[in-house]
Amino acid sequence: MRQQSLNDDAKALVSSLLNGFAVGVFMYISILGIIVEEFSSGHQLLQKFILVLVGAMAMACLVFLE
């Protein structure tokens, strides 16, 4: 019984680490690749900022769905 519990804990740890890595890659690409490029142009900055905030809030709300 203890061996099964350790296997379940190991699976949960590996899953958490891989999910964290995937989220980190997503945030790195979105922040450095897309957002910086979009905000470097000088037009419609307020609309872009509002959309970034809406997207961040939507992703934060996904935590509560589980």
Distances (CA, A) of 19 to 3, 26, 33, 52, 53: 24, 11, 20, 22, 23
The span from the CA of 63 to the CA of 46, in Å, is: 27
Local confidence band at 1 (pLDDT 50, 70, 90 cut-offs):
low
Q: Kindly report, residue by residue over 10-58, the tens digit of the pLDDT.
A: 898 999 999 999 989 988 988 888 888 888 888 899 999 999 899 889 9
The span from the CA of 14 to the CA of 52, in Å, is: 30
What the block records as the tokens of 64 is 């509560």
Distances (CA, A) of 24 to 19, 32, 44: 9, 12, 28
Local confidence band at 9 (pLDDT 50, 70, 90 cut-offs):
confident
